[in-house]
Amino acid sequence: MDILYLFLSLLALWYFSVFLFYRISWKKIPNATNQNDKDFVSVMVACRNEQDNISHIIQKVKMQNFDKNRFEMIVVNDHSTDTSLQILEKEAAIWDKLKVVCLNEGEDGKKSAIEKGISLAKGDIILCTDADCSVNENWIATIIRYFEDEKIKMVSAPVVFLDGKGFFQQLQSLEFLSLIGSGAAAIGRGKSIFCNGANLAYRKSIFLELNAFDNNTVSGDDVFLMHHIKQKYAGGIAFAKQKDAIVKTSCQPNIKAFINQRKRWAAKSSSYKDFDTIAISILVFLMNISITTLFVLCLFNMQWLVVFVTLFLVKYIADYLFLLPVLKFFRKRNLAFWILPFEIFYCFYIVFIVILSFTNSFEWKGRTHKR
């Protein structure tokens, strides 16, 4: 029993310390102030069955407040079965900065799409987003500033869900912001763990040098490249903590789609080799499974109640203190109301998702992928 109490005490201290440091790091993330007047940018989008979204993102990129002679847009069609390709061909006919590329037979998936797009890109900087996203008019100009510093090889940038109503949408938004915020804070500490491919930029030369996609996983075009850059170029990753850098996208429409997406995210974790990422993943899982286990034990013996409440409060306070400045930056202070119900839900949900990710297949872009 004493060993268990010692373990839970050390776990609580570890968790609280990490997220306290994350709060400090988040607040200290610097902004880029210098102008970048030299780099050419290739905006990269992998597209599969996005007939309802693709024209929107093309128009958003087309209207950028950025030198029209210094950027292009490349959309790689990944065997779409809807009218995406026809829409792309029409858009390319009226905008000469848009290149439409199609994957050949035997080529499929987002990683193949990005690799092919980069092989044809003119840009010094590859700036990635997704077909179902929206960007503001200063997006390119904001991101490109960070590359004025030659030591910067990759820039991770913020992604946020569009405003939604109801418990399910609020929880999704809060969870997503916690991931974006912790990823940014880890970058601020020089211990990058993950990023989001919906808003990510890197030097083309670095991509070609490292050839860093892990082809054992379907997704992960963003995270594994980050880990390779981190390993070779310490201090070479920045986070664009600026409102003009924010990319917006939609949350999952229903529980089935939500669980499927989270299974896909969790499935690639078995391929992680980066120490910091593995350590944080273990910390979060241990904290949540400990709280879940203590809750179950309380149902049979109330002597565990004090231990359960104490550990839960440590996690809640640590998360609350970390999330408040993150929510403030994204102008989502209203989500602070949902932190407590989120804590209760998340402890059970994360254990459930981790188990499912190792036992079940998932769907992505109309394709089924098995473990």
Q: Is the CB of residue 103 less than 8 Å from the CB of residue 365?
A: no
Lowest mean pLDDT among 71-80, 204-213, 242-251: 204-213
Question: Which residues in the chain belong to E strands, given as ranges?
Answer: 41-47, 71-77, 98-102, 125-130, 134-135, 154-156, 159-161, 200-203, 237-239, 247-249, 362-364, 367-369
Coil, strand or helix: which one is 336? Answer: helix
pLDDT tens digits for 4-52?
A: 889 999 999 999 999 999 999 999 999 888 888 899 999 999 999 999 9
Question: In Å, how far are 115, 266, 328 from 119, measured between CA atoms?
Answer: 6, 29, 40
CATH of domain 30-262: 3.90.550.10
pTM for this prediction: 0.91
Lowest mean pLDDT among 97-106, 164-173, 254-263: 254-263
pLDDT at 368: 54
CA pair distance 371, 7, nearest whole angstrom: 32
Q: Is the CB of residue 66 less than 8 Å from the CB of residue 140?
A: yes
Residue with the bigger pLDDT between 222 and 196: it is 196
pLDDT tens digits for 42-86?
A: 999 999 999 999 999 999 999 999 999 999 999 999 999 999 999
Q: Taking the mean position of all CA atoms in its chain, how far away is CA 63?
A: 25
